[in-house]
Each structure stands twice: as C-alpha cells, then as structure tokens.
Structure 1
Amino acid sequence: MAPTPTVATVDPTPLRWSVVIPVHDCADLLARALPEVVAQLGHRDDAEIIVVDDASDDAPDRVVEQVGAGRVRYVRHSPNRGAVATFNRCIALAQGELVHLLHGDDEILPGFYTTMEEALLPSRAVAAVCRAQDIDADGNHLYTTRSYRHGTGIWTEALDTFAVSNRVRAPGIVVRRSAYAKVGGYRTDLPHAADWEMWTRLAAHGPVLFVDEVLARYRRHQASHTSTLVRTGANVRERVQAIDVISTHIPPSRRAPTVRRALAHSVYFAGRSALDLARAGRWLPAGRQAREAARCVARIPRGVEVGA
C-alpha cells in the first residue's frame, strides 16, 4: 500500500499590527479617519483593522463597507457597554504584536505606522508615543503637543511625567500586545481617566519610547465625553480619584512629592478651564471648575506621606 502523501502546512503570516477602532455615534468622523488607516495598512498581510461599534445609533457599518475596501472587520456591541469596556474589548480582539487603539473621532497622519514600527520594534520599550495635533470638530488645527526629548528615543522621565498629568494624546500611542497582557486592561472605575492610569501603569512596567514627530490628530469637540465631564466638574473629580490610584505605581520614596505635584497641576488645570469657560460666557461650568480647583488646593498634602 502506497504511503499517504504528506502535505506541507504553511503557518499564517504573524500579525504585526492590530488597529482597533472603538466607535459610538461618530460614523461621520470615522469616515474621515478610516481611509488613512486603510491607505497605510490595507495592503499588508500582517495587519488587521477592526472597528468595534458600541451600539451606535448611526451607521458605522456602512462606513466600514464603503471605505474599508474589504480589509476592515466590523464588530458590534448590543447593548451599549460604555467607552472603557469597549477599549478592553478592543484589546481582547487584537492579535497583532503592536496594538493601536484609535478612537473613532481621532485621526492619524501619513507615515504613522511605518514610523512607529521602525522606532518601536528594535527597542525594549513597552509602548511608543508620538507628538500630535489637537484639532476642532471641523478638523482645524488648534495646538501641537511639544517635544519631551530631542529626537526619537527612550523617554526616561515618562513615569514621573505621566504620574503628574496625562501627556499622551490617545491616537498617538502604540502599545505592545505583550505589555497589555502583563499589566491588564483599562480600569472601568476610572471612566474619564482610564487611559491616563493605563499609560502610567505601562511606564511603571517598562520603558516608553518617544517619537519626536507629529503623526496623529486628537479631536476636541463639544459632543465628546471629555466636554460633557467638563460641564459638570466631573473631569477634575476623576483626576483626583485617578491620582490616588496612579500614586501606587510610583516608588514609595517619590510618592508624596509626586502626589503634591499632581494635585497642584490639577489646580492649574481646573483654574485654566474655569477661566476659558468664563471668557466664553459659560458661567455655570466655569464656576464648577473653579470649585473643583479649590477642592484640589485643600487636598494638597503638606509634610504628610501620601500612600505610605
């Protein structure tokens, strides 16, 4: 009897990139963001692009069908799970070595994936952060984040910087999937500050790379979750809650002064928000921001070890 012929099996191409895009009621903005992602990664066999729809009332599935060029997977939640739970679902779905969590209302600029990959892969960093543009609802430029080091390389002050304030624009960070696996998911008890706490937790786990190029666009608009929190003052209250959690990632010898700096920055942050809102004639939210600034002042420890 003739032997059964063997068939050589070919392992599928390991995935280098997972771009996971959480969306909720922002199909029009997804239509602006998705084409550039597809243009940069749609031709690569080692990349996956996934849109995770958190029970939107508009039609992101149509955008995926029209713009995705057959290269974008669509996943829908029903019922709505909320932003942070959707972030965690995105991470769970990702199979690539490098994970980019791109919010559906943000954008990337040409060269993002090539530049971030070339910088991150040869390094020992757990994540890479680039500079970004802040844009308004119509895509107009508002501000460009500054350089935290001259030239691309390890951001040696990342942990101490992150522990004081969130210096990362969400579309401008790429994280190794292995790092997410080690540090765990986003905290659902910090709905506004979950990303800030995550970046600090990652920086406590390993080095962070800074890419000294402007490669992403972060959208600021009144419909955003952040803007809603500003109107009630909840953004500052959640900052204070996050500081308590973030302080646990700091070595005990540096914890107390770091907490003081973080609370002092929160006073500045809330005070500046109050002033901007007052100048715009938005007196009620301005008063709420001013009230939260005063509460932060009262919390600043003086000569007391915090979290010891």
Structure 2
Amino acid sequence: MAKVDIVVPCYNYGLFLEGCVRSVLEQSFGDLRVLIIDDASSDDSASAAQRLVHADPRVSVISHPENWGHIATYNQGIEWASSDYFLLLSADDLLVSGALERAVQVMDANPDIVLTYGKGVSWQDDLPFPKIEAQQANAWTRQDLVREMCAIGANVVNTPTAIGRTCIQKAVGGYRASLPHSGDMEMWLRFGAHGAVAKFDAVQAIYRKHSSSMSSSYWSEDWSDYPHRKAAFDSFFAEYMDRLPGGRGLRTVAYRMLAEAAFFRAIGRMRRGYVNSGLQLLRFSIDLDPRLHFGPPAASILRQASNKVFRRT
C-alpha cells in the first residue's frame, strides 16, 4: 500500500501549527508520516510541535538551533522523505478532507502522473472559515504542465495542493537558493519536464492569509513578481531546454507571454498613479520582448510618464 510523507516547515507559526498538522492526520488516507521542521522559531512552535509528537506516533520533529531559512529547510525535508508520495505543507495552511486519498488514487492508477494539484481556497483568518463540500468529485484532467505554464507566463500550481511522487522529487532535486520568491514555480516546471500532471477540479487545500505571513510583504508589491517569474524560467530552461521537445520554442513563448503580462500590468499601475514602479515594469517588459518598444501603447505610456510632475512608488 502506498505511503505519503508530509513535511511541515515552521517558523514562528506555532499559533497555526496544530491546525495544520491535524488537517493532515485527519485525512481519510491514514498511511502517512509527518515531519515538522521548526526553523529556530522564537514563539512556542517547538512546544506545539512536541505536543503533536506525543499525541500521535506518525508525527516527528526536527528543531534547528539556528535559523536555516526556508529554502534549506525545504530541502532538508526533501532529503528526509522516503515514502511513495510527498507534500510540503506550510504550517499556516490546511489540507481539505480527502486531498491525500484523491492524489494517491490517481498516481497509483497512472504511473505517468508525476504530480497532482487542485484548487486552493484563500482564507483571511479573521473572517469565517470557508465552507468546503464534504464530498467532492474526484474529476481530474491530464496536463502538459510545462507547455501550459509557458503559454501564460505564470505558475498555475497551488503550492499547498501539490502532491508528487517522491522518486521524481529526488530526481529533480531540491529548491534553488537563487530563487527565494519563485522556487515553487521552477520546481513545478521541473516536475512537468518528467511526466504528466493531474489537475483536480476539487478543492485540495486552504491557503491561510494573515498579517504575519512570510509572503505578505512580498505580495504587497505584487508588480515585482514578474522578474521573479523570469528568474524561474531562466533557471528551468538553462537546465531543461535541450531536453524538451521544442524547448527553445517553449522558452520564446514563455518570455513573450511574461513580457506582455508585465506590459499591461505596468499600464495599469501607471494609470493609477504608481509611476516609478510602472516604469520599472514597463522597462522590464520591453527588455524581455523588444517588439513592445515599437508599439503605440508603449510610446504613449512613456510620453505620459515623462510629463508627470509627481512620483509615487
């Protein structure tokens, strides 16, 4: 029978840790192990982890005496994993009932599927808890994930829902230290280069939003996500372009779509008065796809920007 390893990295998320781990332990699929990695938290994360260890033999914990950072912590979890399937779940997120069973059933029955993911519900934790149907359908579609992500120039995988084959995770390696903000996107591209991906119609996880979230400050400047996406594509294609059928063409499409998305995002920011960040994004898009420089929209926006007498970031 298949087994699943779940790694829960935790840094100062002691308040949320029990809820996260309980959402895993209460899954209908019970043949699993949970490893909590406390990255030298200054709150009560360590004691919360120990309570969970004492309450359930499937739970273990590693506590860092010094902070390693999230990339090194994730990679330690990957090294630990040895079961058939693997999930990296942030300590402030929650699995939805049936999530593991759906993933295991699909991958057990389809050896070419290397990764599964589904819908993720975003929840602001000062609002009522989201209502999820108790019995969700197991419908899924097979994807060429690399081609799809290149076609839109963005990540499509909800990270808390991404359950993959451990052997593929070992083969593709760990997270890149050079990609602190887009390591997930580049990881899913690597998975997609090794096989097909299953996308569930069902909600698989709940992504908690709160004031102490590691990503809060980053996403408050969401316009800066575009260069991080490019860095993910750069890293992926540097390693995989010559291995993929039509790899060079896929890279061209990815950069073109990313440039166009950044271009229109830049226009939106500048229209709202955020001139400096809009100009940065506009230059990024034109550098990535120089054809945009000659389009009337770009010339018009640049002229408008040069006439602005105020500067807002």
Shorter-chain TM-score above 0.5: yes
RMSD (Å), alpha carbons: 3.0
- Indicate which of 78, 83, 86 corresponds to 2:65: 78
Please state whether the residue corresponding to 2:34 is helix, strand or coil. Answer: strand
Q: Could you tell me how far 1:293 is from its partner in structure 2?
A: 2.2
> Which structure 2 residue ranges, 5 or more long, are not aligned?
133-137, 242-246, 293-313
Instruction: Count residues in correspondence.
Output: 274
Hey, what does 1:178 align to over in structure 2? 167
Looking at structure 1, the residues matched to 37 and 226 of structure 2 have their Cα atoms a distance apart, in angstroms, of: 28
Looking at structure 2, the residues matched to 15 and 117 of structure 1 have their Cα atoms a distance apart, in angstroms, of: 7
Looking at structure 2, the residues matched to 182 and 119 of structure 1 have their Cα atoms a distance apart, in angstroms, of: 20
> Which structure 1 residue ranges, 5 or more long, are not aligned?
1-13, 145-149
1:81-134 CA-to-partner distances (Å, cap 9, x unmatched) read: 111111111111112110011011111111111111112221121111111111
Question: Counterpart amino acid of 2:41?
Answer: S
* Mean Cα deviation higher: 221-230 or 262-271: 262-271
Q: Could you tell me how far 1:51 is from its partner in structure 2?
A: 0.5
1:155-211 CA-to-partner distances (Å, cap 9, x unmatched) read: 13x112223211111111101110011111111100000111000111012111112
Q: Could you tell me how far 1:262 is from its partner in structure 2?
A: 2.1
CA contact (8 A) 2:262 2:282 kept: no
Hey, what does 2:232 align to over in structure 1? 242
Q: Could you tell me how far 1:64 is from its partner in structure 2?
A: 2.6
Hey, what does 1:127 align to over in structure 2? 115
Looking at structure 2, the residues matched to 90 and 190 of structure 1 have their Cα atoms a distance apart, in angstroms, of: 18
Q: How do residues 84-233 of structure 1 correspond to structure 2 at under 5 angstroms?
A: 84-123=71-110, 124-138=112-126, 140=128, 151-156=139-144, 158-163=145-150, 164-231=153-220
* Mean Cα deviation higher: 15-24 or 246-255: 246-255
Please state whether the residue corresponding to 1:22 is helix, strand or coil. Answer: strand
Label 1:222 to 1:296 Cα distance change in 2 as closer, same or farther (>3 A).
Answer: farther
Label 1:252 to 1:15 Cα distance change in 2 as closer, same or farther (>3 A).
Answer: same
- Indicate which of 287, 291, 294 corresponds to 2:282: 294
Please state whether the residue corresponding to 2:79 is helix, strand or coil. Answer: helix
Looking at structure 2, the residues matched to 167 and 288 of structure 1 have their Cα atoms a distance apart, in angstroms, of: 28
Looking at structure 2, the residues matched to 220 and 268 of structure 1 have their Cα atoms a distance apart, in angstroms, of: 27
Looking at structure 1, the residues matched to 202 and 248 of structure 2 have their Cα atoms a distance apart, in angstroms, of: 34
Looking at structure 2, the residues matched to 141 and 228 of structure 1 have their Cα atoms a distance apart, in angstroms, of: 23
Looking at structure 1, the residues matched to 129 and 232 of structure 2 have their Cα atoms a distance apart, in angstroms, of: 29
Taking structure 2 as the reference length, the TM-score comes to 0.77
Please state whether the residue corresponding to 1:49 is helix, strand or coil. Answer: strand
